[in-house]
Structures are given as structure tokens and as C-alpha cells.
Amino acid sequence: MRFDLLVKGGEVLDPQAGYHGKMDIAVKRGRIEAVEKNIPQDSSFDVIDASGQYVTPGLIDMHSHLYRGVTYWGIDADAIGSQSGVTSWADAGSAGAVTLQGFRDWVITPSKVRIFVFVNISCIGLVAQDYELFNPEYCNIDLLKRVVNRHRDIVVGVKVRAGRSGGAQDLLPLKRARRAADELELPLMMHISVVPPDLETALGFLKPGDILTHCYTGQTMKMIDSAGKIHPAAKKAWESGVIMDLGHGCGSLSFESAEALSSQGYWPHVISTDLHTLSIHGTNLRDPLKGAGKRDIGTNGDALSINYQVKGDGKPNFHLLTCMDKLLCLGMPFQEIIRATTSRPAEVLGRKGEIGTLKPRAQADITGLVIDRGEYELMDIHGVMRHGREHVRNTFTVLGGRRFERIEAPTPPPWIELV
């Protein structure tokens, strides 16, 4: 046998490699070995029939929260990844200098999926819901550098939350995060949400190659003015090479912002979930336990469209495919959606050619997808509804050359009340 695994008969879609059409993918020793038409079935020990499906590089979710058991926000990446075809993840600031070793030992090493880290400028990371920046002494650059230099293989950037939720008293955390990123020679990922600071001040801290997450936010740091026109500072950042990341979460996808920006040609460079304990269950940002028990309204048909009802405002974002449904509904071409969930994030994570592509020698991470047609109710985080006509569903996943079987999601932590 020439190959270990063959994915046969699918519609291969890899924007970076330029593959678009019916092809077979052969895998050997955990790597992509060949992408060709009509590779014989009997050349491989194992065969996945992908006919009628899209076959894409293993998906990458560049903004998530995965430090389960230690932080308020952490969810299980293996379970969600196995159910949605996401094989590589980046955690956005769950761990800080003091907690990074634990993240590595207790989460990253035992996980099946690949996990990269944007390390928080605050040494405590996102242990509790908010206020990691309340004490300026937590933003210790020297400590951060000492720790990051021992974890260079997994750290891909520095994370800071601009806006009220971090609890910063002034601009000091942004200044320290900027300096830390520069001295570590890593990109800075900045979250925007609620003023202060204002958008322009926050954007002033970003350079080309840095990442702004929550680009379609409807909160007070949003990137459009009252007439729906892109803010001049946002336009400058978008066009100058700052990476614009969706980061849906439970506070950051406004259809109003998304429709205004996309109609002016401003699409996210990277589509990510900001998946965490709240967003995954469709709860309200501040008061997960309050509210009238509104039903979760999500896309149906995949294992993660759980029947949980949450006592909250119900703003579900089950996984990366839910984000895809919403971007399709907004009119983003499917090929661009795949680019924004494969090769683009791979490049931002400094892993171009290694993940996010099906080119020979890349890691054999492969995702099967189908697009169901019908009528699907989609909701933004403000409860605004749209009706989508397409729903993306995961059919199979290969991780590191092996079938990635579905794993049941663990029960949510006690602060998430399900009814």
C-alpha cells in the first residue's frame, strides 16, 4: 500500500494551494502525500468517501478560550473540534505569564487538536470574567518575556483587551502590551468592545501584521459611524495590513455593523468564534443566569445544536460553522470564507504551509463539509434575526492523518445554568 488514508471523490477547496475541483487526497505518516485526480482506492489502507462533499484543509479557529477548569471562559476544544472540523485553535489570552505553564501541561499537551497561544499581557490571564487589567502590576513585561521565551513553540502573539471589560484605569496596559509584543517580536492581538478608550486611540496601538479582534462589533468601539460609514481610523487600519478578525463571541457580532462594513467592501480577514462558556451556550454577556429563558435559536442539524435552553438572552454561536452560516448570509463567497478559516489564520499564526492547506508535506488535517439548503434563523448578539438559506455541516474530520472521531462535549460549568 502506498498510502495510509485516502479521501476520495470530494470537491477539494483550498484557496491557498489553488485547488478547486474534484480530486483525491492521499495521506502518509500524518502528512499530505498527494492531491490528484483518480487515485486508486486500493492504494490505501483506509478510504473516506467524500463524494458530494467539500473537502477543505482542517479548519482553524484563531480566537477561542480553551483553559477549561482554570478560567471562567474555557471550553473543550477536542469536543467542539471533533464535531465541527476545527483541527487547529488559538487561545486568545486565557493564559498569562503566571498560568501559561499550566495551560501547556494540562490543556495543550493532552489535547488532540493543535492549540496555539496569544498570551495575555496580564500575568493572571482571563481567570475570572473580567478585570484582569485592574491591577497595573499584573502587566509585567519582564516576567512575560521570561516565560514566553520558554514557550516560543506555542506562543503566537500577545493579547490585550482594550475597553471597559479589562478593567484598565488608563492606557498603561495597551502601552505595555505594545512594548511586550515589540520586544518579543510577536504580533499584538487587541480586543475592542466598550469605550474607553475610543476606537481611534485603541487603533493607534496597532501596526500592520497585528490583529484587531471583534471587527464587526456593535458596541461603542464599533468601526462605523452613526450613518453606517466606516470610521476613518478603521479604514486606515483595515487597508494598512492590520488583520481584521471576526471574534463572534457573545458580544461582538452585530448584523448592523457587519452589513454596513461588508457592503463597503470590508470583510474580515479571519473568521473566528471567540468561543467560550457563554457564547457556546448562547447566553448573555453580563447576566448568564438572568432573563426569561428564551429559546436558543441556532442552525439545526449538527450535533452541537444542543437542545439546551439557557436562562439568558440566547445568543448562540455553537462553533466556527455557525459563523460561516452568518457570513454566507451576509454574502461572503464560500471560497473566501474557507480562506478566512484556513490559510489566512495559518499565516497569522506563523504556520503557513504547515496547516491551513492541503499542499503535499502539510499536516494531514482535512475537513469534510456540506452546505444544506433551506431556511435557517440566524441571530446576532443583539437578538437581531436574519434568515439564511445555507447551513454548513461537518461530515468528517482528519487530524494529523487519522480519523478524528466525534467526542461528546462535557457538561458546562456551574455558572452556566441550563434549563
Report the alpha-carbon distance of residue 297 to residue 416 in Å, rounded.
17
Q: Which one, 129 or 309, has the nearer CB to Zn ion?
A: 129
Are β-strands 243-245 and 385-399 bridged in parallel, bridged antiparallel, or unpaired?
unpaired
- The least CB distance from residue 215 to Zn ion, in Å, is 13
- The least CB distance from residue 159 to Zn ion, in Å, is 8
Contact 134, 168 (CB under 8 A): yes
Q: Which one, 85 or 163, has the nearer CB to Zn ion?
A: 163
- The least CB distance from residue 244 to Zn ion, in Å, is 15
Are β-strands 31-36 and 114-120 bridged in parallel, bridged antiparallel, or unpaired?
unpaired
- Phi and psi, residue 330, nearest 5°: -75, -15
- The least CB distance from residue 181 to Zn ion, in Å, is 17
Report the residue number whose CB is nearest to Zn ion: 274
- The least CB distance from residue 202 to Zn ion, in Å, is 16
Q: Which one, 92 or 270, has the nearer CB to Zn ion?
A: 92
Q: Which one, 92 or 121, has the nearer CB to Zn ion?
A: 92
Q: Which one, 87 or 193, has the nearer CB to Zn ion?
A: 193
- The least CB distance from residue 274 to Zn ion, in Å, is 4
Are β-strands 188-191 and 211-213 bridged in parallel, bridged antiparallel, or unpaired?
parallel
- The least CB distance from residue 338 to Zn ion, in Å, is 23
Q: Which one, 129 or 262, has the nearer CB to Zn ion?
A: 129
Q: Which one, 48 or 177, has the nearer CB to Zn ion?
A: 177
Q: Which one, 15 or 163, has the nearer CB to Zn ion?
A: 163
Q: Which one, 118 or 205, has the nearer CB to Zn ion?
A: 118
- The least CB distance from residue 65 to Zn ion, in Å, is 6
Residues that bind Zn ion (CB under 5 A): 92, 274
Report the alpha-carbon distance of residue 319 to residue 61 in Å, rounded.
9
CA distances from 138 to 103, 125, 142, 322 (A): 18, 9, 11, 35
- The least CB distance from residue 399 to Zn ion, in Å, is 24
